[in-house]
Structure 1
């Protein structure tokens, strides 16, 4: 009798583990489908925009009757690369549509097998198109440096982007005193000086501004990686995940979330809604940054980015929210989390050129926002889907999220993960217009 009970217990445990494993596979497949479906759409739109810009620049160059053979070859090469990128887009789009309908491909309650087929289609399409961004950029910049050398509009965009980025890079330098006097600190300080000089000089050419911006980011990356080393963080060798919290601050719950992180010695990144910041919330946000937890923007009113661009409310939703958050935290905003994960080419361009901000998305959704969510369901969904390099979405406005967090931290640590900020995860200072899904899935601008 005892033996039978033991056998039944073991069999039941095996069935349960099998069910949990299957569920984890399904959740991961659904998350991957959403991630790679939106990745493909964003890359496709960006390659189309870059190809159009390349064609326009080549046409302008031809209209200005430039005759040097080397210049003519550069321009023809730009036309060729743009045409090749457009052809790659058409072929990729046809390949995707032969497998799945992008509008419904990631709907819930599909079989994991079907979801994985869609994931592979989207991932393959993304990986086919992603190199086109670098190819176009590499031939665009030499022509742009010549054609746009003294163009006032192009110069204004470059100057504004540098000026938007510099406060965040200065904060990076200022907040890491142990590195400021080292060689790497002097390199960043010199890059800041060079960038400021280029932006302030009315005679700076397009090339001068582009070179100053490139140097600034190169030195900021070096400094970020040195800061990681100082903190004992190496997400290239160690399994790391970045926990993120949206929709706050909600004073009581946000404080509990931050305290749980501090108790475990972990960090996270927060994305505040500008309209939710009142006098009671300001000390909460100030504590976040004091404890080394960056606060980005989640817009002013939690409106989808494409809707903001269509309504023409960018200044209120992006600029004013960033100002309010920066005033509350004492730190500049360099990342924005799109409400509902919705972003498009127009919003990327605005955030890059006006705010110098990147876009933080995610590859793991805790579903703590869903009807019926509980501390147990949130814990299970996070731990089932997390993998090295993940950016994990949660919300510091739900009681069940605050209750689940200590258990999530313990479970992830038991799996060998270290909880870090997005900048620590990527080892990169956030780039204007870049989209960050995970450490291994970053869409360049």
Structure 2
């Protein structure tokens, strides 16, 4: 959520930043409405404060007259209660409308984030070269030939958009997860295993609700009166775990990570680059997260991107890192860099991690603050998150980039001890 004080003080700067994501006319209308609601809110607060002071003065005069045995010249203290209640009810309504409108606005993109969509994304780094493969087979064909993924039984169990890892495929998926967990612990992140069912408040705090409310799986209100949903990413859980807290300044940056399955209502993908395990309604992901002081955020973003890149490099996968344009990044984020692996079968890069900096946008929604040493006033922390990594896309990248002419697939060196072999071979 944006800072209303910033909108009051520097509307032009806010409008310019939002115009990287939204139509300028839409931005102008939204800011006009926000400022009108804000003025109403402030006027009502002033009126209510004045009414309360007036009532206090009248109550004192009434009590003094009674003690002195005089007939009070003012009405009883209860006389103004109805008017005050009406003003307070009006303030509650205006504040709710203001909060709703504020929650609909996206974050302000960072200065170096350009407007536009995917076409404006910029590659900032590349690792390695695309492997030379004479006859490329895609990961779906390879996983079937090697007995790694049972797509048909996955659909039988969960419907379209689900799959089931089998045999060495299940072991490869689990080896990846265990290796990623160890790597993130070594990088100084605390390991968490959060609930998979979260309250709606966590979705709002992360900035996913209300805009993407329909993109997740919700429990019905009879089963979950407070509102519950299956987490779409561990980012939502880690952030939500610290809602309404004042963090110890001396412990910032606070670094945590979690492994969870992720549950999403993904649009059915018929394109060749979305087949197999690339896009589905349930997939595994390890997510890293940092809560920082504002002045720590830039260094934290650089470190997180470097850490994720190092994971993909250790797996030996050719990849690139792209700085996303404003229109291609999540609405909650100021700045996002995608780490994208090469998929030989499509000749395209596919994102395996988005590392993002939200500024204080999420912390403001979640009321996560810190108190400066020796001070009483609190400030909002900055939050950053990134996949480290999404295995449902690492898995096909490994199959495709390391496929051999004889139909086998080489295992990345860092995983060989876990699988007890250096290659996957077709069943004879």
- Normalising by the residue count of structure 1, what TM-score does the alignment of the two structures yield? 0.26
Q: Which structure: larger Rg?
A: 2
Greater fraction strand: 2
Compare the two structures and name the one with the higher helix fraction: 1
